[in-house]
Amino acid sequence: MNNEIENIFKQKLENFESAPSAGLFDTIQAARAKHKRRAIWLWSSAAILLFSLGLGYTLLSTPSEKTLVEHETIGKEQKTDLITFEEQISPVIENDKFQPLDQKNIDPKKDVQLIKNTKSKSLNIANASVSPEKTKTQSSRDGTVLPHAENLTVNEDLAKLYQKIHDANKNADPKKAKVFTRNGESEVELSSVPVTVLNLETLRKGEVLQVENSTTAIDSAPIAQNTTPKDNEKTNEKLPIHKLVKLSRWGVEASTGGGLGSRILSGPADYVAMRNTTESVKFSTAYNLNVLYRINTKWSAQTGVSLVNRRENLSYITADQMTYTQREEIRTETIIHPVLGEIKREYTVTVTDSFIQKGTQTKQTNTYLYASIPLVLERGLQAGKKWSLMTKIGVLAGIYSTANGQIVTGEGQSEDLQPIPTKSVGFHSFTYGIGAAYKCTDRISLIMYPQAFIGLNSLLKTDVDVSQKELGFYTHFGLRIQL
Amino acid sequence: MNQNKNSTNDNPLNEHDLINGCIKNDVYCQKLLYEKYSPKMMGVSLRYCNSKMEAEDVLQDSFIKIFDKIKTFKGEGSFEGWIRKVVVFTALKSNDKRVKKFEPGDLDNVQEPSLDSKAVSNMETAYLMNILQELPVGYKTVFNLYAIEGYSHKEIGKMLGVTDVTSRTQYSRAKQYLLKTLAKHGIKRI
């Protein structure tokens, strides 16, 4: 008998048909398009990240001599002096037996270069644009004194500056400086050429002496007694005032960022698909407040507080609600009796009424706030007079998180978002960025730092075994102050 | 061809052309395929789900998979059977995600009643569907797979990741539960 019932179920339900809601096909097409877009977005993100990592690796692996430009304050204002220097120093280079420098350290196309002499740990200004033709016309060198030194007078302010720099280098000969050219290395009279020699060994570790340009300019002193009229014109030009700035290891940085944040869900495919259908990315913000510690001239470490306020759109339609109510109804039946004729009889029946309450569409914004402590290493890649380029890589350790909004459950209903538990111990995200800094003053820079972070550990474990990892691309703008 | 596109009800394509069109991602062919099979597959989906909305979600996911994976259909067996299989598996996965499948159920003291099969036969199909939907997910799944789809307990065990003995037990309990539910709906003993 029971098998009969099973057969009835099979017969009636095996080929049961029911029309789905109108518009479901369009929803399917939209969902497929969305999946494709998401796939393209993910692949593009992965490609960009790989490219950035490759670029970062390439730049980081470049030899330091080529990329290190620590003191670029000799700018256009001083070029006048350097031209004079060029002409005066060239004979010394031509006629003396100087130790040749490694040619790769000198770029013949650049007028002014700063080259690190690793042996003496001193930084020197090198001039590579020495003209061979000019050198032939000049006289020879006498010992360590320039042959034309007595004829040369350098701007007094510059001389004072170099003297100050030399005061910091007690071991160095105050009257001499090293000059590097593409032809070699030589010692010259300090008073006759605008060459700085900074011996970092005499400074406390981590401190850097830096020549700072001033907006004020003074009349330059005569450069040489036997100058040409053209040279006299040069001497009447304004020369900048220089002063020494001592930069410590420490700095602070505050920045705010904007961009797109998303999450990677893993779990049952259908549940993930449901979440992905109802949730979409929205413009989000991030904030960093960091302390910087310079490890050496290239590397610095950063830590502080990092806040990410990720927002997402939630859009869903609640399920139709079916409600049933029962009521009693009195009905009348008429029976035609062959003998008694028409008989009317009242009887009561229980009637069940059903009502469908259509689902309602809800649209709102969910917010996830994460606070973490970043541990970041930054490396300077390139430094110009005003602009510099750097890259950073690090990890984030979560300390606090909260979530506001709703989440759609499987039955088309919603419930409040629960705060997502962060990893109180351990790191949950990896971060990477390439940024640029614009130096407003010697201590203050404006920074722009596009950066990405990708979840390493799961932030969320629910009872349906769904884990959530964060993924974000934010561009930070902020201020960096070197103390 | 354009004329045909304006009238989707007048399907000029045979199943082979339809499948080839879908492989080429032709939206027109996809729509024809959807219109041809969606009512039947909605019926399948409804049997495994608790509500129409849930069933539509399953149907949506199923057709996404069908359109994405149609090139893997090798022509072995009927195409409808393949589509049906996709829908069934999608429904099973959907049930997997939140629900404990095999509830013990409160059946220990339930006597298996004998019911009036004629009364059941006279019941509306939609009403029977409602009764089936009221079953706990685990029972409903096994009942659907065994009694309606015709899978063996061994196959069901493989599909659900349980032993065939579990499938058999669940089916037995599902049957008892169904009979009890029918009794609740007024199908009296004979």
**A33 pLDDT higher than 60:** yes
CB contact under 8 A, A20 and B50: no
Q: Give the confidence band of B185 by pLDDT, cuts at 50, 70, 90.
A: confident
Whether the pLDDT of residue A73 is over 70: the answer is no
> How confident is the model over B46-84, as pLDDT tens digits?
998 888 888 999 999 999 999 988 988 888 888 999 999
Residue A357 burial class via C-beta count within 10 angstroms: exposed 0-12, middle 13-18, buried 19 and up: exposed
CA distance A357 to chain B (A): 13
Q: Which residue has the tokens 């003496």?
A: A120
Q: Taking the C-alpha atoms of A354, A357, A359 and A364 in order, what is their torsion angle to the nearest 10 degrees?
A: -150
Among residues 161-190 of chain B, which lie with CB inside 8 Å of chain A?
Answer: 175, 178-179, 182
> What percentage of chain A has pLDDT greater than the value 70?
54
Q: What is the pLDDT of residue A257?
A: 92
Sequential DSSP letters for A113-125: EEEEETTTTEEEE
- Containing H/E element for A316? strand A299-317
Specify whether the backbone of A323 is left (phi greater than 0), alpha (psi in -120 to 50) or beta: beta
Whether chain A has a CB inside 8 Å of the CB on B63: the answer is: yes
Report whether pLDDT(B169) > 90. Answer: no
Task: Tell me if B39 and A6 make a contact (CB, 8 A cut-off).
Answer: no
Residue A83's Cα: distance from chain center in Å? 39
Looking at CATH, the fold of the domain delimited by A32-61+250-316+364-482 is given as Porin (2.40.160)
ipTM for the predicted complex comes to: 0.76
Q: How far is B74 from chain A (nearest CA, A)?
A: 23
pLDDT class of A416 with cuts at 50, 70, 90: low
Stronger pLDDT, A458 or A6, i.e. the higher one: A6
Q: Are B132 and A13 in contact (CB under 8 A)?
A: yes
| pLDDT bracket for residue A80 (50, 70, 90) | very low
Q: What are the chain A neighbours of B39 within 8 Å (beta carbons)?
A: 17-20
pLDDT score at B62: 93
Residue A426: name the closest of A454, A472, A469, A457 by CA. A457
Q: What is the mean pLDDT of residues B117-141?
A: 78
The pLDDT score that the predictor gives to residue A144 is 33
Distance CA B166, CA B168 (A): 5
| pLDDT at res. A432 | 93
Q: Is B78 in the A-facing interface, judged by CB distances under 8 Å?
A: no
Question: Is the per-residue pLDDT at A85 higher than 80?
Answer: no
Report the gap between the CA of A367 and the closest CA in chain B (Å).
Answer: 24
pLDDT digits (tens, 9 = 90+) for A169-211: 556 554 554 544 444 445 554 444 333 333 333 334 444 444 3
Tokens 């005032």 locate to A241
Phi, psi of A52 (to 5 degrees): -65, -45
User: Minimum mean pLDDT among A96-100, A260-264, A292-296: which range?
Assistant: A96-100
Radius of gyration over every alpha carbon of chain B, rounded to an integer in angstroms: 19
pLDDT grade for A147, boundaries at 50, 70 and 90: very low
pLDDT in tens, B146-164: 988 888 988 888 888 888 8
Which of A245-249, A457-461, B108-112 is predicted with the least confidence, judged by mean pLDDT?
B108-112
Distance from CA of B12 to the nearest CA of A (A): 20
pLDDT (0 to 100) of residue A455: 81
When CB atoms are compared, the residue of B31, B112, B125 closest to A16 is B125
Q: Which residue has the higher pLDDT, A252 or B112?
A: A252
Inter-CA distances, B48 with A147, A322, B41, B135, Å: 101, 19, 11, 10
If you count residue pairs, one on A and one on B, with CB atoms under 8 Å apart, how many are there? 125
Strand boundaries in A338-466, DSSP class E = 341-357, 361-383, 387-404, 406-408, 414-416, 429-439, 444-455, 460-461
Between the alpha carbon of residue A266 and those of residues A40, A156, A272, the distances in Å are 18, 71, 7
The per-residue pLDDT for range A37-60, each reduced to its tens digit, is 888 888 888 888 888 888 777 666
Q: Which of A176-185, A316-325, A363-372 ranks highest by mean pLDDT? A: A363-372
pLDDT-derived band of residue A138, with 50, 70 and 90 as boundaries?
very low
Contact A24, B38 (CB under 8 A): yes
Are A269 and B43 within 8 A, CB to CB? no
Is the Cβ pair B61, A410 closer than 8 Å?
no
Q: Shortest Cα distance from B75 to chain A (angstroms)?
A: 22
Q: What is the DSSP string of A34-49?
A: HHHHHHHHHHHHHHHH
Could you give phi then psi for residue A324, rounded to 5 degrees? -120, 135
In order of their start, the domains of chain B are 2-96 (1.10.1740.10), 117-184 (1.10.10.10)
* pLDDT, tens only, A88-121: 333 333 333 333 334 444 454 443 333 333 333 3
Least confident of A326-340, A381-395, A422-436, B147-161: A422-436
CA-closest candidate to residue A125, choices A190, A205, A220, A172: A190
> Residues 218-277, chain A: which have Cβ within 8 Å of B?
267-271, 273-274
pTM over 0.90: no
**Backbone φ and ψ of A69, nearest 5°:** -135, 95
Instruction: Specify the residue for token string 């002409």.
Output: A87
B46:A16 CB<8 A: yes
Residues of B in contact with A35 (CB under 8 A): 64
Contacts of A92 (CB under 8 A, 6+ apart): A138, A141, A146, A147, A186, A188
Residue A114 structure tokens: 């700063």
Specify burial of residue A188 (Cβ count, 10 A radius: 0-12, 13-18, 19+). buried
What's residue A23's pLDDT?
85
Contact across the interface for B68 and A32, Cβ inside 8 Å: yes
Q: Which two tokens stand for residue A222?
A: 């005569």
The residue of chain B with its CA nearest to that of A462 is B98
Question: Mind giving me the DSSP string for A158-210?
Answer: HHHHHHHHHHT-TTS-TTEEEEEETTEEEEEEGGGS---EEEGGGSPTT-EEE
Of the listed ranges A223-227, A249-253, A353-357, the least confidently predicted one is A223-227
Is the Cβ of B13 closer than 8 Å to some Cβ of chain A?
no
B9, B25, B28, B42, best to mutate vs chain A, most A CBs in 10 Å: B42
Name the residue with higher pLDDT: A468 or A458: A468
User: How far apart are alpha carbons B117 and A178 in whole angstroms?
Assistant: 109
- Round the average pLDDT of chain A to a whole number and report it: 66
A216 contacts chain B (CB < 8 A): no
Summarize pLDDT for A323-341 with one digit per residue, the tens.
Answer: 888 888 888 888 888 887 8
Q: Which of A2, A18, A273 sits opposite B61 (nearest CB)?
A: A273
- What HEC string does B166-185 produce? HHHHHHHHHHHHHHHHHHHC
Neighbours of B29 (CB within 10 A): 20
A35 touches chain B (CB under 8 A): yes
Alpha helices in A369-470 (DSSP H): none
pLDDT confidence of A238, banded at 50, 70, 90? very low
Query: What residue segments make up the domains of chain A, in order of their start?
Result: 32-61+250-316+364-482, 67-247, 320-358
> Sign (positive/negative) of CA torsion A412, A415, A421, A427?
positive
Report residue A165 as tokens.
Answer: 């720099």
Residue among B42, B97, B147 whose CB faces A18 most closely? B42
Question: Of B27, B39, B94, which has the smallest distance from its Cβ to A18's Cβ?
Answer: B39
Inter-chain contact A29–B30, Cβ cutoff 8 Å?
yes
Burial call B48-84: b when 16+ CB within 10 Å, e when fewer: bbbbbbbbbbbbbbbbbbbbeebeebeeeeebeebbb
